[in-house]
Amino acid sequence: MPHKSFLTGHPGVTFDYARRYAPLVTMPTTVPAYGAEAAERLASMADVTATDGALRRFLHGLPGVDAVGLQARAAALGTRSIKTTAKAYAIDLAISMIDLTTLEGADTPGKVRALCAKGVSPDPTDRSVPKVAAICVYSDMVATAKQALAEAGGSEVHVASVATAFPSGRAALAVKLADTREAVAAGADEIDMVIDRGAFLSGRYLQVFEEIRQVKEACRRTDGSGTAAHLKVIFETGELQTYDNVRRASWLAMLAGADFIKTSTGKVAVNATPPVTLLMLEAVRDFRDTTGVQVGVKPAGGIRTSKDAIKYLVLVNETLGADWLTADWFRFGASSLLNDLLMQRQKLSTGRYSGPDYVTVD
């Protein structure tokens, strides 16, 4: 007899889903190198990006997005419920996928150190709470974050740095590359870059492709280790105007070498939404089917509650399956989400909601 799904009324995902993936919430995030077959498949697509015309023909040749169908599927998946036991594991999984973020002009070293302490020990009264995946800061705070994480016993928590003239992306390429190299030299494990939306919307696809490719090169460390910071490419989907553009941006970024594709900066009116995230999840699925290369997805901005986070986890599970249900391949860009997850976790363990003083105000 098949296991009962933790998604009510939906077969395919076993009730012991959480037990199978619980060990993953404390795993360090490491993305494996491309295999020989994947590298060969990618090489076979080189002609797609050889010229601006070829790239344009490829991107505009992608299937058009059925907006009504996309929104309906995202809405339907959003109604799925999960049972209490699986919900507890889902909350821990969501915590382990958070890029805990502060990106304000008023950021101080003290604020960053406090955020790092919270990322390492989200609930000081409960050591079973997993660490977050990363701390996301501006490049001038990378060294502070690295030191604070090491001192707090959380060296496995990554430091992500925004770069390339975040959030607007309006700067010369040389400035963007210098911004990236500075962050990597300071110890950043991950770079969150923003694309030039003006160039993309003007149809200058090869320019955007080359910028991503060169930023990817700038992510290489110069310490002789042969390693590189992982690259997340932010689209600012709220400014891309159409679902077709989101699909095109997804493929363009992945062809250029993105390790993750990310919805938003969190600095505009429209940030991550379930339909846009679902579309990006479908894009990484199709990209792996085509090339053999797996790429992660990071929705960011506007995800504030446990209910929201679990809806996104359902989207991942139903679209991509278990392969993406780890912090290696799926992240939440958030600042306030962690507090709600902690309060919901406390509610599940004690049967009552905690007061507002249970969590810190970031």
**Catalytic positions, please?**
192, 262, 298
Residues near 358 by beta carbon (within 8 Å), at least 6 away in sequence: 342, 343, 346
Which is nearest to 125 in space by CA: 357, 352, 362, 309? 357
User: What is the full DSSP assignment across 109-165?
Assistant: HHHHHHHHHHHH-S-TT-TTSPPPSEEEE-GGGHHHHHHHHHHTT-TTSEEEEEESS
Give the DSSP H/E element, type plus range, for residue 297.
strand 296-298
The structure tokens 């090869």 sit at: 206
d(CA 257, CA 45): 13
The sign of the CA dihedral 43, 44, 50, 56 is: negative
Maximum Cα–Cα distance for the chain, whole Å?
A: 61
Nearest to 235 by CA among 272, 264, 212: 264
Q: At what angle do helices 52-60 and 205-218 cross, to 10 degrees?
A: 100
**Positive or negative CA dihedral for 360, 21, 262, 269?**
negative
- Cα–Cα distance between 99 and 136 in angstroms, integer? 6
Sheet holding 190-194, edge to edge: 296-298, 260-262, 230-234, 190-194, 158-163, 134-137, 98-101, 332-334
**CA dist., res. 298 & res. 233, Å (int):** 9
